[in-house]
């Protein structure tokens, strides 16, 4: 009986929090505000950078490339959203792009435009256009609110649908893990996909659109995935 009541509560909470994504038109469940997630992202991003070896963009060509490509893609996204009356989708975004020393083939984007690329990804991307496709894809997950969707699902399924502030206060370690998993931190590109197939297809589509708008050849995505 208790399990049935809990299931009904979770279903009702999901229904109440459901809204249509203005970019994709798909209904999504969001129990957490983007402002809350951006605040958490700033804290987690700073912690991640402090615990890992960040490659200086002023002294390394690859790090400078990551920053340059990322900014071009971010500018394209901002223009796309502004032209379509959806500029509010990146409200509060303060873009940051960092290259981190790691053998993992990985990249991710937290809410607010906090992006990390691992050095282990660069031998696979091989060129700026392919890197732009990967970065566009990862940024799309954040802009399309996929991470918010996954974080909300995690709060419902694992922490009983409590508010984010309560979860952070009462169960900080679990909440941190939920957040990191929601945004693919620690998952290798092409190996562990933390997002649903539908979310991956949306990120593929908009990532390529925004990469192309930034001036990069989207056909590089085909060769890239063949190298993964």
Separation of first and last alpha carbons in the chain: 47
Q: Which residues are catalytic?
A: 138
* pLDDT at residue 161, as a whole number: 46
Q: Are 114 and 42 a contacting pair, CB within 8 Å? A: yes
What are the residues facing 29 on neighbouring strands?
Answer: 18
Q: What is the pLDDT of residue 192?
A: 38
Helix (H) or strand (E) holding 69: helix 61-83
Burial of 40 (0-12, 13-18, 19+ CB in 10 A): buried
pLDDT of residue 154: 72
Q: What is the per-residue pLDDT for 158?
A: 58
Q: In angstroms, rounded to a whole number, what is the distance separating the alpha carbons of residues 145 and 160? A: 21
pTM: 0.83
Alpha-carbon span 117 to 106, nearest angstrom: 6
For residue 140, give the nearest of 84, 198, 206, 87 by alpha carbon: 206
pLDDT at 29: 82
Tokens of 205: 């589509």
Strands 96-100 and 114-118, bridge-based pairing: parallel
pLDDT for 13 equals 45
User: pLDDT per position in the chain (228 positions), as tens?
Assistant: 444 434 444 444 444 467 899 999 999 988 788 998 999 999 999 999 999 999 999 999 999 999 999 999 999 999 999 999 999 999 999 999 999 999 999 999 999 999 999 999 999 999 999 999 999 999 999 999 998 888 877 766 655 545 555 554 566 677 677 767 777 785 544 433 457 889 999 999 999 999 999 999 999 988 888 887
């Amino acid at each position: 009986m208790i399990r049935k009541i809990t299931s009904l509560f979770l279903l009702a909470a999901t229904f109440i929090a459901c809204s249509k994504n203005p970019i994709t038109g798909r209904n999504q469940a969001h129990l957490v505000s983007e402002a809350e997630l951006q605040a958490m992202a700033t804290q987690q991003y700073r912690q991640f950078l402090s615990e890992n070896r960040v490659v200086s963009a002023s002294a390394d060509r690859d790090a400078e490339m990551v920053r340059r490509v990322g900014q071009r893609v971010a500018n394209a996204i901002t223009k796309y959203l502004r032209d379509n009356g959806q500029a509010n989708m990146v409200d509060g975004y303060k873009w940051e792009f960092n290259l981190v020393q790691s053998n993992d083939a990985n990249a991710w984007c937290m809410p607010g435009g906090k992006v990390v690329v691992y050095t282990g990804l660069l031998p696979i991307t091989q060129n700026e256009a392919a890197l732009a496709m990967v970065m566009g894809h990862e940024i799309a997950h954040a802009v399309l609110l996929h991470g918010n969707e996954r974080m909300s699902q995690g709060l419902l399924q694992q922490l009983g649908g409590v508010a984010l502030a309560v979860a952070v206060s009462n169960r900080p370690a679990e909440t941190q893990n939920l957040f990191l998993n929601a945004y693919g931190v620690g998952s290798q590109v092409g190996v562990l996909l933390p997002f649903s197939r539908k979310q991956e297809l949306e990120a593929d589509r908009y990532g390529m659109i925004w990469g192309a708008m930034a001036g990069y050849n989207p056909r590089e995505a085909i060769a890239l995935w063949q190298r993964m």
